[in-house]
Amino acid sequence: MTPPIAVFGINSDGLNLAVKLLILLLVFVYLALVYYTYTDARRRIADPIVIGCATAASLFPFVGTIIYMIVRPPEYLDDVRERELEMQAAEARLHQLDYFLCPHCDYQVEKDFLRCPSCTRKLKDPCGTCAKPLDPEWKLCPYCESAIPGVTPPPKRRRRRLPEETAVSES
């Protein structure tokens, strides 16, 4: 009968079995760390090339995963998206509450301010007739119904009558 293969030259059967189980455990932990690094990188990183690099780095036993855990992004991609959605929702709520910010210095301004009180930049033009603030997209003043100089309203289109309609209306 041939003697069993000894690991590290250990001739004791019990000790040899313990060393083999320890090596099996280390291989299992190593493969689990590679899988953990891959799945964690997919949840934290959007770029597939960087995910592949992180997984390849984890192939260096134990050290690669430790380095990945040091340099990985602190947030999950889902958390980043959720935070951005919350910020967009908060901005939408602020717009509904008539809370306006100066586009240049982010100072809080009122809806009818012509200039920012902080940076003194021009926010809106006044109406030539009633001096109320006008939105740059308006074609006429909604307060006094006067035309805004420099803005030409689109020409009105008339509906053309068809020959059948004229014949019906004449009889």
The reply to whether 32 and 61 lie within a common domain is: yes
Encode pLDDT of 31-75 as tens digits.
999 999 999 999 999 999 999 999 999 999 889 999 999 999 999
**By residue range, what is the domain housing residue 114?**
80-123
Encode pLDDT of 101-146 as tens digits.
888 888 888 878 888 888 988 888 888 888 888 877 778 888 888 8
The reply to whether 97 and 70 lie within a common domain is: no
Give the chain's domain count. Answer: 2
The reply to whether 73 and 95 lie within a common domain is: no
* b/e sequence 122-141, b meaning 16+ C-beta within 10 Å: ebbeebeeeeebbeeeeeeb
- For residue 17, count other CB atoms closer than 10 A to its CB: 13
- For residue 114, count other CB atoms closer than 10 A to its CB: 14
> Is 164 within a domain?
no
Encode pLDDT of 69-99 as tens digits.
999 999 999 999 999 999 999 888 877 776 7
DSSP helix, strand, coil percent of the chain (3-state; round to 5): 50, 5, 45
Name the band, by pLDDT with cuts 50, 70 and 90, for residue 27: very high
pLDDT of residue 68: 95
The reply to whether 64 and 98 lie within a common domain is: no
User: In the predicted model, is pLDDT for residue 162 greater than 80?
Assistant: no
> Is 1 within a domain?
no
The reply to whether 84 and 45 lie within a common domain is: no
Tell me the C-alpha distance between 54 and 65, whole Å: 8
The reply to whether 112 and 67 lie within a common domain is: no
pTM higher than 0.85: no
The reply to whether 15 and 48 lie within a common domain is: yes
The reply to whether 65 and 98 lie within a common domain is: no
Tell me the C-alpha distance between 16 and 38, whole Å: 33
> Is 146 within a domain?
no
Q: Between residues 142 and 152, which one has the greater pLDDT? A: 142
The reply to whether 30 and 67 lie within a common domain is: yes
> Is 141 within a domain?
no
> Is 131 within a domain?
no
The reply to whether 73 and 86 lie within a common domain is: no
Q: Are 153 and 147 in contact (CB under 8 A)?
A: yes
> Is 162 within a domain?
no
